[in-house]
Amino acid sequence: MSTPETSRFVRLRVELVLEVGDEDAVTGAALRRITDDGDMPDAERVHARRAVTEDAAEALAYLVDPFALVGEVPGVELLQASWSGERIDYDPDSPEWDLDEEDDEGSCDGDDGADRAG
């Protein structure tokens, strides 16, 4: 009798809702990051500057770096990542925003969905 093999690959889903209190600060930080990125081709840099200037959600997406998030985690290598930013209507009292509801359906470890601030 053989034991079923477990995949070495894990998809980690993270959903964040952020309140942007100073759009100019977010946009400015994104523009600095774009300027400092020596590997970005000039044509992409022009497009990126335009995108972050027009939308603070896009600027925020330029500042979030999943590679930095898991880069120091021992024993793992980030193979692929995708992320984006979008403006949303948010009501913390709405049942639609109960993040624990999704945890209850997909959790295998009995975790109660407690915050994991680092």
Residues 71-114: tens digit of each pLDDT: 899 999 999 998 888 898 888 888 887 766 555 444 444 444 44
Q: Is residue 98 part of a domain?
A: no
Q: Is residue 88 part of a domain?
A: no
Q: Is residue 54 part of a domain?
A: yes
Q: Is residue 3 part of a domain?
A: no
Cα dihedral across residues 50, 53, 55, 58: positive or negative: positive
Q: Is residue 106 part of a domain?
A: no
Give residue 22's identity as a one-letter amino acid code: D
Number of domains the chain is built from: 1
Q: Is residue 89 part of a domain?
A: no
Q: Is residue 39 part of a domain?
A: yes
Q: Is residue 57 part of a domain?
A: yes
Angle between helices 23-36 and 56-63 (to 10 degrees): 50
DSSP reduced 3-state for 105: helix
Range of the domain at 63: 21-71
Residues 25-41: tens digit of each pLDDT: 999 999 999 999 999 99
**CB atoms inside a 10 Å sphere around CB 70:** 13
pTM, full prediction: 0.67
